[in-house]
């Protein structure tokens, strides 16, 4: 979800001559979404509900790489700062203590790698294509990370 300064929804659609609209996939999703609960809350409110045996996947705003333009402003002028990244880790660690497995993606910024390593996460590099890029030509591959902290409890 992303909003502009006027508070209007503004997630980009990309810049395609012939955009693919995934109607079938969306209809399939509606069928299996009946058993799911959707919540729109700050991540702290969701992670607090997590307990033993749960698996949490978090895709927070990516910390900008040094000298690169990043995007962390998803709503009404609020940016997602390093302090928010650290607060996410705090809630993730508490959920892990309760027996949850945590999986978090982010950019490959050194500050992020250090944050997760220092908190005992297994941090792996992942090479990804940025498919939402509106620039034509070759889409550059980015180096992201995936940080995992497995549940302490064996099931
Ligand atoms: C990099 S996007 C990832 C979105 C999704 N995981 C995906 O892969 O398409 C970061 C997301 O974090 C959301 N976000 C920003 N601040 C948040 C907060 N405090 N609590 C929960 N989500 C937040 C944004 O709205 C945005 O959708």
pLDDT tens for each residue of 67-87: 777 766 766 667 899 999 999
Read off the pLDDT of each residue in 1-23 and give the average, rounded to a whole number.
Answer: 85
Nearest residue by C-alpha to atom 27 in ligand 1: 1
Nearest residue by C-alpha to atom 6 in ligand 1: 59
Q: What are 82's two structure tokens? A: 């390093």
Nearest residue by C-alpha to atom 8 in ligand 1: 59
Better pLDDT: 30 or 137: 30
**Which residue in the block uniquely carries the two structure tokens 């297994």?**
122
Alpha carbon 50 to chain centroid distance? 17
Q: Ligand 1 mean position to 45 CA, how many Å?
A: 14
Length of the chain (residues): 155
Nearest residue by C-alpha to atom 3 in ligand 1: 59
Residue ranges of domains in the chain, CATH in brackets: 47-149 (3.40.50.150)
pLDDT score recorded for residue 137:
60
Q: Of 38, 74, 107, which is best to mutate to test ligand 1, by the most ligand atoms within 8 angstroms of its C-beta?
A: 74
Per-residue pLDDT reduced to its tens digit, 107-130: 999 999 999 999 999 999 999 876
Q: Is 82 helix (H, G, I), strand (E, B) or coil?
A: helix
Full-model pTM:
0.82
Q: Ligand 1 mean position to 120 CA, how many Å?
A: 23
The answer to whether residue 131 scores a pLDDT higher than 60 is no
Read off the DSSP letter of residue 106. E
pLDDT score recorded for residue 87:
98
Distance in angstroms (rounded) separating the CA atoms of residues 52 and 87: 21
């Amino acid at each position: 979800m992303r909003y502009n300064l006027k508070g209007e929804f503004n997630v980009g659609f990309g810049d395609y001559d012939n955009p693919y609209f995934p109607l079938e996939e969306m209809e399939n999703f509606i069928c299996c979404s009946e058993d799911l609960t959707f919540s729109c809350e700050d991540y702290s409110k969701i992670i607090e509900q997590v307990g033993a045996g749960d698996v949490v996947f978090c895709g927070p705003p990516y910390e900008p790489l040094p000298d690169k333009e990043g995007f962390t402003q998803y709503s009404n002028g609020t940016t997602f700062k390093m302090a928010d990244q650290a607060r996410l880790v705090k809630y993730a660690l508490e959920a892990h203590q309760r027996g949850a497995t945590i999986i978090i993606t982010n950019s490959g910024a050194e500050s992020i790698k250090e944050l997760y390593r220092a908190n005992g996460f297994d941090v792996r590099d992942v090479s990804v294509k940025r498919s939402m890029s509106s620039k034509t030509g070759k889409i550059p591959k980015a180096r992201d990370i995936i940080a995992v902290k497995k549940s302490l409890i064996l099931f």
